[in-house]
C-alpha cells in the first residue's frame, strides 16, 4: 500500500479488488516456482491424464471406479507443456486460480464487503488451495467443479434483470454433472445441495420452472458423459455401491465422525447459529430475506457437506477443508454489517491476525519449499536415513525422489529388454513410477485397470487375468511395488505368480517418504 493510502486510511473498492487478484494469483502460482517432492498417489493422476493424452478411451481401454472428468484438465496441460509430472502442478495452479475466482464471485454476489471477501480468499488459500493442492486430486477437483456449479446457481438467483440468465442454470447443470463424473460423493452432494438452494429460491420467488431447467440440464450433460461409454463395462467399473464395490457411506462411521470428532465444523456451526439467533427475531425473518437466507443455507450446507465427505473420502485426510473460507466469511459478514471495513487499519490488522491464525500452514511448508533437497526421512526397514534428489529424466523434472529410486530407474533403462527398443514393449507397471511409460517409450496396455488398488481400482477378475498372462509370459517387463504397511493395496497374488514364472532382476526404494516400500523389477526367465 502506498503512503497516500495510509495517510487517508481509506482503501478504495478497486484497490481491494487488486489485492484480491494479487492474493489469488500469488498463492496459486507459488508452487510452480519450486521443486517439489514426489507425492504419494500422484502416479494415478499422471497415468489417467497420459492415457487421455494418447487418445485412449475411458472404460474401453482402461477401467476405473470413478469418472474421467478428473483427468480432462491435466490431459489438456499435457498437450500444452508435455506429459511430465510437473505439468500436473501447472494444471492445479490453473484450477486453484479458478477456484478462488469462483469463491470471490460467490461472496460478491451475496453482497459481502470487498475487504471481507479478501480475507475469506486468504483463508481459502491457507486452508484449501495452498497447503494441499500443489498437485491435482480427484476429491478436490470434484468439489471445485461443484463449487463452479453453485456459483452459476447464485448468479442466476441474484441476476434479476439479466436477459439470458437461464444460461446460468444450464452451466450449473454442466458443472454438477462434471463434478459427479469426477468423484461420486462430492458430485452427488453438490447437485443435491444445488437442488436445495434452488428449492429455497423457488419458494421465495415462485420461479419453479428454474428447478426444472437446472434438473434437466444436469440430466442432459450427465447423459452426454455416460451414454458413450455404457457399452464398455461402465456399470461394472463405476462405483455406485454395487458389487463388487462397497458403499463408502456407513451410518456408524458418519455418526462417529460427527459426534466423536469434527470439532472445527461444530465450532463454526455454533457460532453461525448464535449469530443468526441474535441478529434475527425468528427463522421467518431470516429466510424471508433472500440474501441472508441464501448465505445461511450455503454456509451451513457446505459445513454439513464436510461432515459427509470426511467419511466418504477419507484420504487424504484434509480433503474437506473448503468449509473454513465460507464459514469465516459468514461470521465476518455478520459481525461487520454496520462497520466500515474499507480502512487500511482494518485490512492490515485482520489480515495479520488471519495469517497468525493459520501460521502453522506456512511454518510447516516453508521448510519443505526451501530445504527439501536437504531433507532426510527415517527409513523404517533399515533404521537409516535416505537422501532425496532431482533426476535428469524429463518426465520427473523438478520432482525430488530418493536417490535409490533414481538409481533404480537407471538400472531399468539399462535392461536388455528395454535397450532392444521393441516397438510394442509390454509392461505391467504396478508401481508408483507410471511416468516411466513416457521415459521408456512404451504405451500403457489397454483392457486393464487404471490402477491396482485391490477391491477399489481392480477386483478378483482382474487378478485372475494378470496371473494368467504372467503364466503365459505375456509381459516383457513387470514392476511390482511391495508396501509391507499396506498389505491390501497391491494384489500380492500377482506377486506370488511373478515369483513362480518370472525372474526378479532388481529391487529398490519406491518414492515414499517413510522408505518402507520397494519396487521390484521382473523379466521373463532366461
Question: Is 481 contained in some domain?
Answer: yes
Which position has the higher pLDDT, 384 or 244? 244
- Phi first, then psi: what are they for 378, rounded to 5°? -75, 130
Residue 33, domain member (yes or no): no
**pLDDT band at 422, cuts 50/70/90?**
low
Average pLDDT, rounded, for the chain: 86
Structural domain including 434 reads 398-524
**55 inside domain:** no
Q: H/E element holding 482?
A: strand 477-482
Cβ neighbours for 329, distance < 8 A, ≥ 6 positions apart: 107, 112, 116, 117, 119, 120, 123, 299
Query: Is pLDDT above 70 for 45?
Result: yes
Is residue 486 classed as helix, strand or coil in its secondary structure? Answer: coil
At residue 256 the predicted structure's pLDDT band, cuts being 50, 70 and 90, is low
Per-residue model confidence as pLDDT tens digits over 487-525: 778 888 999 999 999 999 999 999 887 667 899 999 998
Within-domain flag for 444: yes
pLDDT tier at 2, thresholds 50, 70, 90: very low
- Three-state SS at 280: coil
Supply the pLDDT for residue 283. 86
Alpha-carbon distance of 305 to 299, in angstroms, equals 10
Angle at 193 between CA 199 and CA 309, to 5 degrees: 165
382 has pLDDT over 60: no
- Which of 110-119, 150-159, 341-350 shows the lowest mean pLDDT across its residues? 341-350
CATH of the domain at 472: 3.40.190
Which residue's entry shows cell 488471519? 354
Q: What pLDDT, on the 0 to 100 scale, is given for residue 383?
A: 32
**Exposure class string for 144-181: b at 16+ Cβ within 10 A, else e:** bbbbbbbbbbbbbbbeeeeeeeeebbbbbbbbbbbbbb
Count CB-CB contacts under 10 A for residue 421. 10
Q: How far apart are CA 49 and CA 453, in angstroms?
A: 18
Predicted local confidence at residue 121, as pLDDT: 95
pLDDT score of 260: 62
Minimum mean pLDDT range among 14-28, 105-119, 384-398: 384-398
Domain assignment present for residue 365? The answer is no
Yes or no: say if 478 and 502 are a contact pair by the CB < 8 Å rule: yes
Residue 215 resides in a domain: no
Q: Identify whether 443 is part of a domain.
A: yes
The predicted structure's pLDDT at residue 520? 95
Does residue 207 have a pLDDT over 90? no
Task: Tell me the pairing of strands 427-430 and 477-482.
Answer: parallel
Residue 438 confidence (pLDDT): 93
Q: Which residues contact 130 (CB under 8 A, 6 or more apart)?
A: 27, 30, 361, 365
| Grid cell listed for 78 | 499435457
Per-residue confidence at 384, pLDDT binned at 50, 70, 90?
Answer: very low
192: which 3 cell numbers? 443435491
CA pair distance 105, 96, nearest whole angstrom: 14
Record the pTM: 0.89
pLDDT digits (tens, 9 = 90+) for 96-105: 999 999 999 9
pLDDT reported for residue 413: 93
- Total count of domains within the chain: 1
Residue 74 located in a structural domain: no
Confidence of residue 75 (pLDDT cuts 50, 70, 90): very high
Give the residues across from 430 on adjacent strands: 480
Q: In the predicted model, is pLDDT for residue 165 greater than 70?
A: yes
Amino acid at each position: 500500500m502506498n503512503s497516500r493510502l495510509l495517510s487517508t486510511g481509506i482503501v478504495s473498492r478497486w484497490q481491494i479488488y487488486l489485492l484480491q487478484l494479487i492474493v489469488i494469483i500469488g498463492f496459486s502460482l507459488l508452487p510452480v516456482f519450486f521443486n517439489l517432492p514426489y507425492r504419494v498417489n500422484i502416479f494415478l493422476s499422471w497415468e489417467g491424464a497420459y492415457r487421455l493424452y494418447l487418445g485412449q478411451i475411458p472404460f474401453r481401454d482402461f477401467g476405473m471406479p470413478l469418472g474421467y472428468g478428473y483427468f480432462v484438465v491435466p490431459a489438456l496441460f499435457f498437450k500444452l507443456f508435455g506429459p511430465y509430472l510437473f505439468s500436473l502442478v501447472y494444471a492445479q495452479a490453473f484450477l486453484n486460480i479458478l477456484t478462488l475466482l469462483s469463491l470471490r464471485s460467490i461472496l460478491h454476489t451475496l453482497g459481502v464487503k470487498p475487504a471481507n471477501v479478501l480475507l475469506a480468499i486468504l483463508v481459502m488459500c491457507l486452508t484449501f488451495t495452498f497447503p494441499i493442492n500443489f498437485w491435482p486430486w480427484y476429491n478436490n477437483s470434484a468439489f471445485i467443479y461443484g463449487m463452479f456449479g453453485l456459483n452459476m446457481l447464485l448468479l442466476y438467483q441474484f441476476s434479476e434483470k439479466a436477459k439470458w440468465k437461464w444460461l446460468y442454470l444450464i452451466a450449473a447443470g454442466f458443472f454438477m454433472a462434471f463434478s459427479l463424473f469426477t468423484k461420486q460423493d462430492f458430485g452427488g452432494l453438490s447437485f443435491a445441495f444445488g437442488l436445495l438452494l434452488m428449492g429455497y429460491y423457488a419458494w421465495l420467488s415462485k420461479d419453479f420452472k428454474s428447478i426444472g431447467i437446472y434438473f434437466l440440464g444436469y440430466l442432459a450433460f450427465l447423459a452426454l458423459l455416460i451414454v458413450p461409454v455404457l457399452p464398455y463395462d461402465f456399470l461394472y467399473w463405476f462405483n455406485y455401491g454395487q458389487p463388487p464395490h462397497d458403499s463408502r457411506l456407513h451410518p456408524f462411521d458418519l455418526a462417529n465422525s460427527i459426534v466423536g470428532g469434527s470439532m472445527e465444523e461444530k465450532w463454526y456451526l455454533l457460532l453461525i447459529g448464535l449469530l443468526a439467533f441474535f441478529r434475527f427475531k425468528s427463522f421467518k425473518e431470516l429466510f424471508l430475506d433472500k440474501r441472508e437466507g441464501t448465505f445461511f443455507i450455503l454456509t451451513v450446507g457446505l459445513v454439513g457437506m464436510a461432515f459427509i465427505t470426511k467419511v466418504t473420502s477419507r484420504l487424504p485426510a484434509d480433503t474437506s477443508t473448503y468449509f473454513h473460507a465460507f464459514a469465516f466469511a459468514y461470521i465476518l459478514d455478520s459481525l461487520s454489517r454496520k462497520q466500515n471495513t474499507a480502512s487500511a487499519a482494518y485490512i492490515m490488522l485482520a489480515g495479520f491476525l488471519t495469517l497468525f491464525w493459520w501460521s502453522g500452514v506456512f511454518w510447516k511448508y516453508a521448510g519443505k519449499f526451501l530445504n527439501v533437497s536437504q531433507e532426510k526421512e527415517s527409513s523404517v526397514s533399515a533404521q537409516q536415513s535416505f537422501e532425496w534428489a532431482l533426476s535428469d529424466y524429463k518426465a520427473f523434472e523438478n520432482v525430488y525422489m530418493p536417490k535409490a529410486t533414481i538409481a533404480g530407474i537407471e538400472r531399468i533403462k539399462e535392461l536388455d529388454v528395454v535397450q532392444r527398443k521393441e516397438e510394442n514393449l509390454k509392461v505391467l507397471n504396478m508401481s508408483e513410477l507410471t511416468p516411466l511409460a513416457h521415459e521408456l517409450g512404451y504405451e500403457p496396455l489397454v483392457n486393464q485397470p487404471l490402477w491396482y488398488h485391490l477391491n477399489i481400482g481392480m477386483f478378483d477378475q482382474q487378478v485372475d487375468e494378470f496371473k494368467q498372462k504372467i503364466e503365459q509370459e505375456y509381459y516383457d517387463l513387470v514392476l511390482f511395488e511391495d508396501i509391507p504397511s499396506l498389505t491390501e493395496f497391491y494384489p500380492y497374488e500377482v506377486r506370488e505368480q511373478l515369483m513362480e514364472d518370472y525372474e526378479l532382476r532388481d529391487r529398490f526404494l519406491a518414492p515414499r517418504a517413510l522408505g518402507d516400500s520397494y519396487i521390484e523389477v521382473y523379466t521373463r526367465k532366461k
